[in-house]
Structure 1
């Protein structure tokens, strides 16, 4: 079978470290060289169309088989995947979450993780991600499910609302995008990325100390594909 080729804008493809131990990228950065450079120990493939890349060797990985459509169901995966990511990072590993462009599917998984383990809210999680990787933009269906996930795990009213898009009146957008347009003026509580990350880590430690430690249980789907992804 012929190699599967993906043409991805270099800005989207690049690997970005969101918080210590959590990386996100587009498919073109899936090279053995990058896995070694960033010391990646676990890979989350958030796509349906990208095969598990054989050239990456025996790095443990999970494939979520997600389509990037508003109708795709991501909510049932969030608890298991965020717990798995946290367990790898807590044990000293580095996790890479990827989709095709590193914008929607992989961003949604990372936002769920940040909301659950590193940030006080989904809004704060998005603001952090957008600072580190401005191109992130989950589709509106993922946003609806992330908002519901925040309400569920935080047991509070959601911090992000969907509002009418003034440029496309038949569509809605998360109101946090307006913060981005005004230069994240609401980020007055963040003086720099290191200070923010240290504050988030405190929340992570509190969360880990409040209950039993997570145990890492790899969920590895069979690698049945006979094709190789190429940049």
Structure 2
């Protein structure tokens, strides 16, 4: 059959419905399909969620959640809640969101580390840098808010890295503490793996430090 014949035999009714899958820059998956009336319907799905669709919650998430002395976690809404920021005596803000500008640059000391919330992101490479900024705030008797867009994955991972790297907590203990402070935290699978690797590295470093100290004391005896 010629191409012309194919065109003449074309019938829209013979077309099968299809769904277009679109993944945006922060790992959210959108499924778009055309309905019978010709309009397009969009459903949202979390990346790597085994095709379970999520309901997007657009309600404000303005609370600052206290984790440990001087350290708070929250969403992008918390980062613009000036009343809560003042109430918690925030002095520093660590912004690890994408596309979120610093709201009060003249009032707080900011550090921006833009991270994508996808498992492939190498978040471990910023742990030391972020930890130094957080500890600087705490050491100077300040209070710091760590936030991303939703306050669930990226900011949670950064806080966990601080608890592991600076507070010398085991991964499970750090996770329980943070989960108690903010119940909806959920770092993506890639971040969890990197955090566990980081925790193992910190354990080895601490053990080697103890061994080295013991050797020095033995030599002085």
Fold in common (TM above 0.5):
yes
1:13–1:102 Cα contact (<8 Å) kept: no
**What is the aligned counterpart of 1:118 among 160, 167, 171?**
167
Q: 1:1-231 to 2 correspondence within 5 Å?
A: 8-10=58-60, 12-29=61-78, 30-53=80-103, 55=104, 57-155=106-204
Give the number of the structure with larger relative contact order, counting CA–CA contacts within 8 Å between residues 6 or more apart.
1
* Aligned-partner Cα distance in 2 for 1:64–1:8: 24
* Aligned-partner Cα distance in 2 for 1:68–1:120: 24
Please name the residue that 1:186 is paired with. none
Q: Which string of whole-angstrom CA distances, capped at 9 and with x for unpartnered residues, describes residues 25-58 of structure 1?
A: 11112222222111111100011221122x4633
* Aligned-partner Cα distance in 2 for 1:98–1:120: 21
TM-score for the superposition, normalised by structure 1: 0.60
Point out 4+ residue stretches in structure 1 off by more than 2 angstroms: 7-10, 55-58, 117-120
SS of match in other structure, 1:136:
coil
1:13–1:101 Cα contact (<8 Å) kept: no
SS of match in other structure, 2:86:
helix
* Aligned-partner Cα distance in 1 for 2:59–2:188: 18
* Aligned-partner Cα distance in 2 for 1:144–1:108: 11
1:8–1:26 Cα contact (<8 Å) kept: no
**Over aligned residues, Cα RMSD in angstroms?**
2.1
Alpha-carbon distance change, 32 to 56 in structure 1, aligned in 2, over 3 angstroms:
farther
* Aligned-partner Cα distance in 2 for 1:9–1:101: 11
Matched length: 150
* Aligned-partner Cα distance in 2 for 1:107–1:88: 18
* Aligned-partner Cα distance in 2 for 1:73–1:132: 25
Alpha-carbon distance change, 44 to 8 in structure 1, aligned in 2, over 3 angstroms:
farther
Deviates more, 1:94-103 or 1:119-128: 119-128
SS of match in other structure, 1:81:
helix
TM-score for the superposition, normalised by structure 2: 0.63
Please name the residue that 2:21 is paired with. none
SS of match in other structure, 1:23:
strand
- Give ranges in structure 2 of 5+ residues lacking alignment: 1-56, 206-212, 214-221
* Aligned-partner Cα distance in 1 for 2:162–2:130: 8
* Aligned-partner Cα distance in 2 for 1:66–1:131: 24
Deviates more, 1:67-76 or 1:30-39: 30-39
- Give ranges in structure 1 of 5+ residues lacking alignment: 1-6, 157-209, 211-231
